[in-house]
Structures are given as structure tokens and as C-alpha cells.
Chains A and B, each alone.
Chain A
């Protein structure tokens, strides 16, 4: 039997639905990131195109969840932890949508670099993707579980991705210095690495918003990056 829309049980179910939708959106972003780097590594134009096409689905889903959250705020007038949770959810879906855009960016690089010979075998960039998607996956679980310790740990892992990015940057710079003919290909790879570095940054934002929901303190985790 459907409970009346003003009951707490109804509101709890709606909050649960928002959480499930965030997990779904997160898994869509995660899949896009993995597949975009795969398409770059395997030089697979069809896979790259699929990532580009799927981005629209992520965007649509984001707008749906956003509407759902706004409707809950308007009709339920949430307070305290409910209010913080829904405010954080609005931030988090925006982060996920942007992660999807970064994946789409990597897929576009994969498409445009296919007619050129590979510069080098890709090792660190797939590694960056692996760490970032793992961070993303666990950050959303921490949001669902309201796990502050997990948030802190994941937040720190961003340093590993930053380290890899610097390594990729130095390596690609060497290629470019040695042979200016590699500049275009190296720059594209640098962009792909940069997108992955930004994805990990946005995961730290998810951790920060979750820590805020749990503690009520918006500075519970110190901010790392401003959204670009």
C-alpha cells in the first residue's frame, strides 16, 4: 500500500531512491571512464564513439535526479541531516556528470589519435584510470554508508593520482624535447592524463560533501581544488 506523501516512511523511501540513483549514475560514470581509457589504449574507434554517445545518457540521468531532489526539497522541506544529505546529493550528481564529460573528452582524444602511430605503450594512464575509478566507486559507497573514515582515506589517495600525473607529464615532456614531431601526440596524451587527474580531484569533492553530511562541518575535510 502506498503511504501518504507526507509521511516519514514515504520520505525515507524517496531518500533511498536518491541514494540508489546516485549509485547508478556513479556506475555509469565509472564505466565511461574505464571504457574511454580502454578505447585510448586499444585504439578502438567504436568503443570511443560509444563513450561519446553514452555521455548524453549520463547528462539526462543527472537532470532526472536533480529534478527528483528539487521536488523533495520543495515538498518535504527537509531539515538537519536530511537537508545536508540532499544538498550534498545535488553537488555529487554534478561531480558525476562532470566525470562523464572528462571520460567523453578522453574518448574524443582516442578517436582523433587513431590515424597516428602510437607514441608509446600506455602504462601510467591506465593506472591512473584504475585508481580513479576505484576511488570513485568507494567514495559513493562511503556516501551511502556515511563512512567518515573511508572518506578521509579515499581523499588522501588523490595524492597517488597526482603523483602519476606528474610522472606522465615529465615523461611526455622528454618525448617532446627529444623529437618535436611528437608534440601533437604527446599533448593529446597529456590531456587524457589531465582529465584523469581532474576526475580524482572530483572524487575528493564527493568525499568532502559526504564528510559534511556526516559531521555538519563543511570544512571537515580541507578543500583541495576548486571546480573548474
Chain B
């Protein structure tokens, strides 16, 4: 996308065939991220159990399921956000481009640079709009002032926010509306040019119009990044994602994956009766 251009609707539209094949934005270039026999324990409590899930490159993958089904735990495990939480144990492995994410010689900072995260509530820093986006760039090594400015501008454009903030880059990020703040956080996440962007209920604190902007943005971003989104809003998963995985709690209250497939099929003709019961509102 170039400066000031609004998102071209036709450009991000997904055809019916793509809905049913999960191939929105054309064929995937393969599996970007892979969870293998992944379990996460908080102390002795197993929060997710034996998760095996592939996330195709340059696609939007949605994780749906009721509260406690382990969606957010799974999401945070993918970029090692649990590392800092005492008492958390990980079993199994996460592969990024077939390389392990968990390992003694793997730098978690580097993992998080390649796998960015956007949270439920917009959480800008108490800094200017510019500084918020520029913040992560320091981890990329030495960079000229001009290059820094270019990177910030590019990220804000990609997040569809540039036109709204170009004339007030030095004002506080808190002066923005909630929806703008969330897009600022998305700009901050993509400024460091990650390969994967994780989004944990990115619109649950936003109004319908801001939600619409962020959803449209997800489709645009999927042309460059692999997107994985946790959402409680099933209509949102149905609208924006290429593939959907449904998670639930098993008898031990551990999160498990029930079914994964192309979004078109999951929402019209799920294979597992538990998925059917959840998406039709019979449980959960």
C-alpha cells in the first residue's frame, strides 16, 4: 500500500472458493508456524494439551473457543511470552520456518522480533505517536535518522493510520481514539518487520467502526505477514480469517484443538459436533 491510499476493497476480497479452501490472497507459500505436541503448564495445571496446529504463511488464522479453552495461552506460547512468567512449563515444540522456537541457543528477543504481538486493549507507551512506532527500531541495530523516519512512516501507512496522524506525530499517543491507538500498536508491531503478527482479541475494546478498520487491516497485512488472531467474535473470525481452529476444554480443563479447517467450511459445515454446538450457540 502506498501513501494515503485507502484499502482497495477488491484487493482484499476473498472469493467463495477461497473461503472453502482457506486460500484467501492466493496459494500459501507453506507452513510458517507449527505447534507440535504443545502443552503448557501453569504450575501443575495443564492449560493446553498436545496441540498440533499448522499456521499457513501469509494467511489469517483464527483461534476461536469459549473462555478457558487456552486460545490466549497458545498464542502467547507461540512467541515465548510465557518465558518471563514463573512456574510456566512448556512441553513440545513450536517451529518457525521449521526451526525450533524453544531451545537453549534460541534468543527469545529475536523470536519476538520475528513474531510480533498486538494485545486486547490498545497499550501505547506514554510517548509521542512517532516514538511509539520508533521504539522497537532500536533493536534492529544502528539506523540513520532519515531511515528511522521512513520506517515509522511506512509502518503507519501500513496500519492505515498515516493520513490521520501525519500532522501531529509529536503529540502524545494518548490523544488518539481507542481505534487509532490500536492501529498505532499494530504499526508499532509491524515497524520491526516481523514475519508473524499475533493478535489477541484486537478489537474487543473497539467500537464497530474501529473494529471494521482493524479487520480490513488484517486482510491487507496478510499480504505481507502471517496473521494469527484470537477472537471471541465468531462473526469476526468468519469475516477475516482463511482458516479457523476451534478449541475447547477437555475433562481435565486443559485446552485442546477440536477441529481446524478452511473458515468457509468450519462456519457452514463443521465436521465435529462440538464445533457445531459452539458456533450455533448451543454451548459456551
Interface residues of A (CB under 8 A from B): 8, 11, 77-84, 216-217
Contacts and interface: CB of A to CB of B under 8 A. Distances in A.
Interface stretch (B23-31, B32-40, B112-120, B274-282): B274-282
B269 A77 contact: no
B235 A80 contact: no
Contacts of B238: 79
Contacts of A80: 267-270, 275-276, 279-280
B268 A84 contact: yes
Instruction: Categorize the interface residue count of chain B.
Output: 10 to 19
Contacts of B269: 80, 84, 216-217
Nearest to A217: B269
A11 B279 CA distance: 14
B258 to A, nearest CB: 13
Given A8-B281, A78-B280, A81-B276, 6 more contacts: A8-B282, A11-B281, A79-B280, A79-B281, A83-B267, A83-B268
Nearest to B276: A80
A77 B235 contact: yes
Contacts of B268: 79-80, 83-84, 216
B106 to A, nearest CB: 40
Contacts of B235: 77
A79 B282 contact: no
A80 B279 CA distance: 7
A216 B282 CA distance: 19
Contacts of B267: 79-80, 83
B234 interface: yes
Interface in B187-214: none
Nearest to A7: B281
Interchain residue pairs A-B with the least CB separation, the first 3: A216-B269, A79-B279, A80-B276
30 contacts: A8-B280, A8-B281, A8-B282, A11-B281, A77-B234, A77-B235, A78-B280, A79-B234, A79-B238, A79-B267, A79-B268, A79-B279, A79-B280, A79-B281, A80-B267, A80-B268, A80-B269, A80-B270, A80-B276, A80-B279, A80-B280, A81-B276, A81-B280, A83-B267, A83-B268, A84-B268, A84-B269, A216-B268, A216-B269, A217-B269
Contacts of A79: 234, 238, 267-268, 279-281
B111 to A, nearest CB: 35
A81 B280 CA distance: 8
A172 to B, nearest CB: 45
Contacts of B276: 80-81
Contacts of A8: 280-282
Interface string B241-284: 00000000000000000000000000111100001100111100
B235 to A, nearest CB: 6
Nearest to B267: A79
Contacts of A217: 269
A77 B270 CA distance: 16
A78 B281 CA distance: 9
Contacts of B281: 8, 11, 79
B2 to A, nearest CB: 36
A81 B267 CA distance: 9
Contacts of B275: 80
A216 to B, nearest CB: 3
A80 B282 CA distance: 12
Interface centre among A8, A78, A79, A84 (most CB of B within 10 A): A79
A80 B235 CA distance: 12
Contacts of A77: 234-235
A8 B277 CA distance: 11
A14 to B, nearest CB: 13
Nearest to B270: A80
Contacts of B270: 80
Contacts of B279: 79-80
Contacts of A82: 280
A142 to B, nearest CB: 19
A83 B267 CA distance: 9
Contacts of A78: 280
A82 B269 CA distance: 10
B227 to A, nearest CB: 22
A79 B280 CA distance: 5
A83 B276 CA distance: 11
Nearest to B275: A80
A171 to B, nearest CB: 46
